[in-house]
Amino acid sequence: MKALYVGFLGAAMLASCGGDSKPAGSDSGSAAQHASGGVDLNGAGATFPNPLYSRWITDYAAKSGVKINYQAIGSGGGIRQLQEGTVDFGASDAPMTDDDIAKAKGGAVMHVPMVLGAVAVTYNVPGITAPLRLTGDVVADIFAGHIVKWNDGRIVATNPGVSLPDKAILVVHRSDGSGTTFIFSDYLSAVSAAWAKAPGKGKELQWPVGLGGKGNDGVAGQVKGTPGAIGYVELAYAKQNALPVAALKNANGDFVTPSVESATAAAAGVAAKLPANTDYRVSIANAPGAGAYPISSMTWILLYRTPTDAVKSKKLTDFLRWALTDGQKSAAALDYAPLPAAIASAVLARLDSITPSPAK
């Protein structure tokens, strides 16, 4: 279906090019598309940043006239389309592996972090008003099925004065492959050696216990409806639906609730320790630093380092430069955490290393 659709899109573009009777030099293709009111850049990938990317694309089109088409088909789909070269850029919540990059037909791939996301742990424990306080190893043991009751001593230990019920814990996880699951399992792997061994981290895991819900709404719906349930959802989803969220103990030993500020603080904590030549395929799970929320992650736009079309490449890097500067200001309003200034400026400098090389 998707392949067919892309094929159709391509055919439509070819047709619009053919309609232009006056070829204008080597890059007549993109010029013709522009002239005929077509799309300048095509991208596909992660659904998580889609609301923000859509906003950016609208704002940027109003400002510069560059039309960008972004299809939120999922991180996996975005990576596959980039590998095949059917899109000008991809987007993903999980960095590409070395194997993924090796399979890309256009050569080396650059990861450009755009904003930060956080994953909130939400729960339904009757009679609790203040946010639950949980440590990383307790969260890991709950999701691994080792802690099965809400009044377990290890949960009580971090929640003095809270009367926790003698109720079974029901774990709810995502059933669909998801960047949210990747970020959450990346965190659990960082805080628990046992979790890192199995089930490990990925967009789709072999969960030891629990029910699978489809999408953030599937997980949240199940948690809301079942007393004793615990699950994880994106920060934006938790905030917009006013779900109860747990405060988690970070690497500094503070209990931090998820928020735009605490996610940015996590990235800032990691930024200081990045080597100068980093490719930004880095995890910011369980980040050090005061006020850092431990289940945070970057979300990336993926593009080729040596694109064949210089005109398109310029348009794309111009858009990314705008998104990394002016665009960051609209992030917080949509519950995405802006990049810390140190990372944003380093990434901007890195965009200069993109060198278009015309196809032979």
Partner 1 sequence: MNTADAGDRAYRVTVAAMAMVVPLLLLLVSVEVVRAGWPALHRFGIAFFTRSAWDAVNGDFGAAPAVYGTIVSSILALVLATPLAVGSALFLSEFAPRWLQQPVAFLVDLLAAIPSVVYGLWGILVLIPWLRETVMPFLADTLKLGNTPLFSGPAYGNSMLAAGIILAIMILPYIAAVTREVLLAVPRSQREAALALGATRWEMIRDAVLPHARSGIIGGIILGLGRALGETMAVTMVIGNTHEISASLFSPGYTMASQIANEFSEATNDMHISALMAVGAGLFAITLVVNLLARWLVSRVAGERTA
Q: Give the number of other Cβ atoms within 10 Å of residue 48's Cβ.
A: 28
Helix (H) or strand (E) run with residue 170 in it: strand 170-174
First to last CA, the chain: 32
Per CB under 8 A, residues contacting partner 1 are: 73-77, 79-80, 100, 168, 170, 175-179, 199-207, 210-214, 218, 221-222, 225-226
Angle at 73 between CA 188 and CA 219, to 5 degrees: 45
Least separation, in Å, of the C-beta of 74 and partner 1?
4
Please give the single-letter amino acid code of residue 263. A
- β partners of residue 233: 120
Least separation, in Å, of the C-beta of 235 and partner 1?
19
Give whichever of 226 and 278 is closer to partner 1, judged by the CB atom: 226
Least separation, in Å, of the C-beta of 188 and partner 1?
12
Give whichever of 131 and 202 is closer to partner 1, judged by the CB atom: 202
8-state DSSP, 53: H
Least separation, in Å, of the C-beta of 224 and partner 1?
11
Q: Which of 66, 71, 107, 74 has the alpha carbon at shortest distance from 92?
A: 74
Give whichever of 75 and 122 is closer to partner 1, judged by the CB atom: 75
8-state DSSP, 314: H
Is there a contact between 233 and 119 (Cβ–Cβ < 8 Å)?
A: yes
Least separation, in Å, of the C-beta of 212 and partner 1?
3
Give whichever of 12 and 168 is closer to partner 1, judged by the CB atom: 168
CA atoms of 149 and 168, how far apart (whole Å): 5
Q: Which of 174, 152, 306, 169 has the alpha carbon at shortest distance from 234?
A: 174
Task: Provide the token pair at 204.
Answer: 């789709």
Least separation, in Å, of the C-beta of 117 and partner 1?
15
Give whichever of 179 and 338 is closer to partner 1, judged by the CB atom: 179
Give whichever of 111 and 203 is closer to partner 1, judged by the CB atom: 203
Q: How buried is residue 168: exposed, middle or buried, by Cβ count under 10 Å (0-12/13-18/19+)? A: exposed
